Amino acid sequence: MSERPVLQITQQIDNERTCVNRLLFPAGGESRWHRHERDYVIVPMQNCVLHIDTGDGPKPAEMRAGECYYRPAGTEHNVLNNSSQDIVLIETELK
């Protein structure tokens, strides 16, 4: 079994109130397991389906371009892009 490509994070803003990152999930890639230390908002840049594993197996999460969602600090998961296309999200962490 070959290893999946890993999420690429590009920081765009980091100031006293927010941190904004561009998240590139390569085709077939994953974020790897991680825990969010801050509340955050995600904005998908295209319609897509990612698979979110919170410990009980990956479940599909359908996303629409420009429709954001919020998650609280403490969220732990692995995010998988099982598609053949790269997927871009914008993440804003609240400080």
pLDDT digit string, tens, across residues 10-55: 999 999 999 999 999 999 999 999 999 999 999 999 999 999 999 9
Domain total in the chain:
1
Q: Pairing mode, if any, of strands 48-53 and 58-63?
A: antiparallel
Q: Is residue 36 assigned to a domain?
A: yes
pTM above 0.85, yes or no: yes
Cα–Cα distance for residue pair 55/46, rounded to 1 Å: 26
Q: Is residue 61 assigned to a domain?
A: yes
Percentage of the chain beyond pLDDT 70 is 98
Largest CA distance in the chain: 43
> Residues, the chain, total?
95
Q: Is residue 64 assigned to a domain?
A: yes
Q: Is residue 19 assigned to a domain?
A: no
**In which domain, by residue range, is 75 found?**
1-6+30-81
**Rounded alpha-carbon distances, angstroms, from residue 66 to 15, 54, 80:** 23, 24, 20
Name beta bridge partners: 59: 52
Cβ atoms of 45 and 90 closer than 8 Å: yes
